């Protein structure tokens, strides 16, 4: 899901949770990118993958918990998907949900059958899931242009699902998110409202699949999939109430929480929507999704969801950063949350443990990257609405320095340097990573962060020499630094914290 309507580490022999068979994974590569825009406002300018396992099926626990490939942007490669599955098996996650928005035959060209070369990769993917004890869910998104009343259109949906079923696919979904919430004249004559049309298609497809697949899990994404969309009556008045009334009780319904990107999902939110839908919701969690902002990624912990939430939902599926191998920390902390057994769950502690594991992938051919500096680096790319602790401290010190003459307070300058210099040097050292795939994935965003640290430290030097304004850097010139049409457009409007 994205904002269309509104607005590696190596893993070696890691043990799964106690609910799963021990699994040995091949090593995988983790990409990571870096960007931190808040510093830019301080100064203004004119494989070979394999898995050995004897797991034959998913755990008996009915709760779905796993990964959604459901973002806008280039779909993951087959090799990336295998690495994702290795991590999932190692972490104890049980569901892989196939729904890449820009697999054209999943969404825009949903009527077209997959050709043999595409089916070959999907067959391998489904088999890879089976070997790892992960359930594969295949989703279709026909809502951009489907004629809901048409039996011929329904037959095309069945034909596409039949292709996947022949490959071994056992679970399916139909998604009506991010689509125009209007119907054509023929559909208006056939259905009383938008929800009735969607439920008709979903029910027919579900019942047809269920005839030959008694263990089928079938999932449904409504057009209003968060509380804000519901309040705006997206899809029509009472859309979700109608879904609760009309949709077969065997079908699970997705929900993202109060927002598309929900920093918190309170229990009261899912209880309320559960009453409306007449069933517990299935969480589609966009906490770490980054398809809406190409400058950022998120490696902060899975957080903002109380442990008790797990008892109020049919499952939680995580829609992550676009870059598959960038999600080590999000998935590791998500899995820790899923399998936590006490009220002592602490997201920050889980993050620190996962970052320590990920740090092993950042071996440099130059100087070593310290764990302390690496944690500061990760804190700069934490969560959509939150910086990590060390990044918050860095930003606060920078703001204090550049709001008063630093020459009068050298202690403040030194406190800032204690964080800024190691961070800048860590960014510089990233170019020497032995893992060149990781370096390539890091390069652009890591460069941006390094440049901001370079500029702040350069201007700080000038301030310490007595200059309090008119700072100048030969390496940060208007047009070539923070330049371009997008930067000019962004300067026209300043968004407030309340989105006004």
Nearest 10 degrees: Cα torsion 141, 144, 145, 146:
30
- Assess contact for 201 and 179: CB atoms under 8 A: no
Q: What are phi and psi of 197, to 5 degrees?
A: -65, -45
Residue 178 is a catalytic residue: yes
Question: Smallest Cα–Cα separation from 114: which of 140, 84, 80?
Answer: 140
Rounded distance between C-alpha atoms, residue 192 and residue 16, angstroms: 49
Strand partners, 220: 174, 253
Rounded distance between C-alpha atoms, residue 271 and residue 253, angstroms: 13
Query: Counting beta carbons within 10 angstroms of the beta carbon of residue 153, is it exposed (0 to 12), middle (13 to 18) or buried (19 or more)?
Result: middle
Rounded distance between C-alpha atoms, residue 303 and residue 217, angstroms: 27
Instruction: From the candidates 103, 177, 178, 291, give the one annotated as an active-site residue.
Output: 178
Rounded distance between C-alpha atoms, residue 170 and residue 173, angstroms: 11
Cβ burial 120-137 (10 Å sphere, 16+ → b, else e): eebbebbebbbbbbbbbb
- Assess contact for 297 and 30: CB atoms under 8 A: no
- Assess contact for 168 and 138: CB atoms under 8 A: no
Residues known to be catalytic = 178
């Amino acid at each position: 899901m994205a904002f269309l309507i509104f607005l590696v580490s190596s893993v070696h022999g890691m043990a799964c949770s106690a609910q799963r068979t021990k699994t040995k994974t091949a090593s995988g590569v983790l990409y990571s990118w870096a960007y931190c825009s808040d510093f830019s406002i301080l100064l203004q300018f004119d494989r070979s993958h394999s898995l050995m396992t004897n797991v034959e099926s998913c755990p008996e626990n009915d709760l779905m918990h796993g990964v959604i490939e459901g973002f806008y942007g280039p779909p993951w490669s087959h090799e990336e998907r295998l690495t994702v599955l290795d991590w999932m098996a190692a972490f104890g996650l049980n569901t892989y949900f196939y729904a890449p928005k820009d697999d054209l035959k999943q969404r825009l060209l949903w009527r077209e059958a997959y050709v043999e070369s595409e089916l070959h990769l999907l067959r391998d993917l489904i088999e890879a899931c089976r070997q790892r004890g992960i359930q594969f869910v295949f989703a279709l998104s026909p809502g951009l242009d489907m004629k809901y009343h048409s039996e011929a259109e329904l037959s095309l949906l069945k034909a596409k699902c039949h292709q996947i079923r022949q490959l071994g696919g056992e679970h399916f979904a139909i998604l009506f998110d991010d689509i125009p919430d209007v119907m054509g004249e023929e559909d208006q004559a056939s259905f009383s409202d938008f929800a009735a049309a969607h439920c008709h298609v979903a029910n027919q497809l579900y019942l047809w699949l269920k005839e030959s697949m008694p263990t089928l899990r079938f999932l449904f994404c409504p057009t209003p999939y968060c509380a804000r969309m519901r309040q705006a009556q997206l899809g029509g008045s009472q859309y979700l109430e109608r879904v609760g009334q009309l949709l077969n009780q065997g079908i699970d319904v997705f929900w993202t929480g109060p927002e598309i990107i929900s920093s918190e999902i309170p229990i009261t939110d899912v209880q309320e929507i559960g009453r409306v839908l007449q069933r517990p919701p299935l969480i589609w969690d966009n906490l770490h999704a980054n398809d809406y902002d190409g400058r950022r990624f998120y490696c902060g912990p899975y957080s903002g969801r109380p442990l008790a939430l797990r008892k109020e939902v049919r499952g939680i599926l995580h829609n992550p950063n676009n870059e598959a191998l960038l999600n080590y920390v999000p998935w590791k902390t998500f899995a820790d949350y899923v399998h936590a057994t006490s009220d002592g769950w602490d997201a920050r502690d889980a993050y620190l443990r996962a970052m320590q594991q990920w740090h092993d992938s950042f071996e440099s051919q130059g100087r070593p990257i310290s764990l302390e500096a690496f944690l500061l680096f990760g804190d700069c790319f934490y969560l959509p609405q939150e910086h990590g602790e060390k990044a918050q401290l860095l930003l606060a010190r920078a703001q204090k320095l550049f709001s008063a003459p630093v020459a009068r307070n050298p202690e403040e300058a030194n406190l800032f340097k204690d964080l800024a210099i190691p961070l800048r040097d860590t960014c510089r050292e990233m170019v020497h990573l032995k893992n060149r795939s990781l370096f390539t994935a890091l390069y652009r965003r890591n460069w941006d962060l390094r440049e901001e640290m370079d500029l702040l430290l350069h201007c700080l030097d000038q301030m310490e020499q007595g200059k309090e304004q008119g700072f100048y850097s030969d390496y940060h010139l208007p047009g070539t630094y923070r330049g371009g049409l997008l930067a000019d457009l962004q300067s026209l409007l300043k968004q407030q914290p309340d989105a006004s």
